[in-house]
Amino acid sequence: MYTVAIILAAGHSGKFSVQHSLGQGKHTVTALAEAETINKLPSEVAPKEVDHSKPETIIDALPRQRLLIKILGIAKDMGEITKQWIQLRH
């Protein structure tokens, strides 16, 4: 079983990643979403409120996550967020 974090989980593409991950029945899903969309998340996920314009809020939501799924087309800071998350894992 993996703990999976999905960035932009309440968005158009993110919701499909959430559904697929939950449908596997093998993963604990942490869904990262902004305050105005967090109520759109399914009850089976662990919601984490983040501000996509502040990469540090995303980093703070990622400890203990085994897998990070990011949806294309988001903030230019995703490269930095991914790099910091990888450093947390080691």
CATH of 2-89, one of 3.40.50.10190, 3.40.50.720, 3.10.20.30, 3.40.50.11810: 3.40.50.720
Per-residue confidence band for 48, with pLDDT thresholds at 50, 70 and 90? very high
- The tens digit of pLDDT for each residue in 70-87 reads 765 545 566 666 666 667
Over residues 39-57, the mean pLDDT reads 90
Per-residue confidence band for 61, with pLDDT thresholds at 50, 70 and 90? confident
Over residues 6-35, the mean pLDDT reads 87
Specify the pLDDT at position 41.
Answer: 94
Q: Which residues pair with 27 in a beta bridge?
A: 2
Q: Please state, in angstroms and rounded to a whole number, the distance separating the CA atoms of residues 13 and 5.
A: 14
Give every CB contact of residue 38 below 8 A, 6+ residues apart in sequence.
Answer: 10, 47, 49
Residue boundaries of the structural domains of the chain: 2-89
Q: Please indicate, yes or no, whether the overall pTM of this predicted structure exceeds 0.95.
A: no
